[in-house]
C-alpha cells in the first residue's frame, strides 16, 4: 500500500497543460468555456466502432491517459447513447454494423453531434465501399465533423473536438 502511495507521489501530475501544442493551447480554454456554457460543464461522448481495425480505438483510449486527461475539459465517454451529446464513430461502416450504428444514433437525445474519426470514417480509408462495407460514416449518418488520420493521434482528436466546439453551435444542429 505504502509503495503505491510513494509511486503516486513520486510520479506526480504528468497531465500536460495544452500549451505544448500551440493550437490546442489557444483552443482549450475556449473548449472548456463552450462545454461549460452549452453542456453545463460536461460533454458526453458515446463512441461506436462501426468497423474499425481497432487502431482508432487505441488512440481514443489514450485521451483518457494521464498525459491528455481529456476529462479536464469536461469531456467524458459514456456507456449509453441516451446520455450522450456526441457520437464518435470509427471505421468504415461495415454492413453488419449499419443497423446497430443507426439504432445507436437514434437513441441519442437531439440535438446531437456525429464525429467521424479516422480516415476510414472520413472517406472509407483502406477499405472503401464494398460488399461488406458502406464506406464513410456520412454514407449512413449525417456527419458534423471529420477528423482524418490513420489513426488520428490523441492530439489530433483533441484538436478536432476543440474545433467542433469552437465552430458550431449545437443548438442549431439537426
Partner 1 sequence: MSDTWLSDVKGRFAEARIQLIDEDEQRLAPAHLLRVAPAAWTSAVALCKGLSMRWAAFWAVEQATGFDAFTCLEQEGHYLLLVTSLEEPELDSIAHIYPAADRPQRHTHDLLGIGFRGQLDNRRWTRHQAWNEDDYPLRRDWQAPKSPSPTPPDDSYPFLRASGNAVYEVAVGPVHAGIIEPGHFRFQAVGEKIINLEKHLGYVHKGIEKLAQGRTPDQLTRLAARVSGDSTVAHGWAACMGIERALGVEIPPRAALLRAILAERERIANHLGDIGAICNDVGFSFPLYQLGRLRELLLRENDRLFGHRLLMDRVVPGGVAVDLDQAGQQEMLACCRELESEVAHLIEIMERSESLEDRLMTTGRLTPEWAAELGCLGYVGRASGLDFDVRRDAPYAPYQQVKVRVPGYRAGDVAARAKIRAEEITASLELIRQFIQRLEPGELRSPLPEGRGGQGIGIVDGWRGEIISYLALDETGRVSRFFPRDPSWLNWPALEQLIQDNIVPDFPVCNKSVNGSYSGQDL
23, 159 contact by CB (below 8 A): yes
List, in order, residues 6 or more apart from 8 with CB less than 8 Å away.
none
Q: Which does 64 bind (CB under 5 to 8 A by kind): ligand SF4, partner 1, none?
A: partner 1
Residue closer to ligand SF4 (CB basis): 52 or 112: 52
Partner touching 26 among ligand SF4, partner 1, none, CB below 5 to 8 Å by kind: none
Pick the closest to residue 42 from 16, 80, 70 (CA basis): 70
Q: Does 12 contact partner 1 by CB under 8 A?
A: no
Give the one residue of 43, 60, 87, 120 binding ligand SF4; rule: CB under 6 A: 120
Please, are residues 86 and 55 in contact by the beta-carbon 8 Å criterion? no
Residue 56 makes contact with ligand SF4 by CB under 6 A: yes
| Residue 48 interface partner, choices ligand SF4, partner 1, none, CB cut-off 5-8 Å depending on type | partner 1
Contact segment (CB under 8 A) with partner 1 among 27-35, 87-95, 157-165, 166-174 equals 87-95
The entry of ligand SF4, partner 1, none that residue 75 binds, CB within 5 to 8 Å by partner kind: none
Footprint of ligand SF4 (CB under 6 A): 52-53, 55-56, 90-91, 118-120, 125-126, 150-151
Footprint of partner 1 (CB under 8 A): 3-4, 7-8, 11, 14, 47-62, 64-67, 77, 79-80, 91-92, 94-104, 125-128, 130-133, 150-151, 153
Amino acid at each position: 500500500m505504502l509503495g503505491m502511495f510513494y509511486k503516486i507521489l513520486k510520479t506526480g501530475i504528468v497531465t500536460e497543460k495544452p500549451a505544448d501544442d500551440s493550437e490546442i493551447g489557444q483552443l482549450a480554454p475556449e473548449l472548456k468555456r463552450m462545454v461549460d456554457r452549452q453542456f453545463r460543464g460536461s460533454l458526453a461522448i458515446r463512441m461506436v466502432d462501426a468497423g474499425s481495425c481497432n487502431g482508432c480505438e487505441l488512440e481514443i483510449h489514450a485521451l483518457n491517459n494521464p498525459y491528455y486527461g481529456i476529462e479536464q475539459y469536461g469531456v467524458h465517454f459514456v456507456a449509453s447513447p441516451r446520455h450522450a451529446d456526441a457520437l464518435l464513430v470509427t471505421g468504415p461502416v461495415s454492413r453488419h454494423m449499419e443497423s446497430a450504428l443507426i439504432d445507436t444514433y437514434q437513441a441519442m437525445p437531439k440535438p446531437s453531434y456525429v464525429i467521424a474519426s479516422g480516415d476510414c470514417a472520413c472517406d472509407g480509408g483502406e477499405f472503401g465501399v464494398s460488399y461488406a462495407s458502406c464506406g464513410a460514416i456520412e454514407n449512413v449518418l449525417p456527419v458534423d465533423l471529420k477528423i482524418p488520420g490513420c489513426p488520428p493521434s490523441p492530439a489530433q482528436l483533441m484538436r478536432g473536438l476543440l474545433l467542433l466546439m469552437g465552430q458550431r453551435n449545437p443548438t442549431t444542429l439537426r
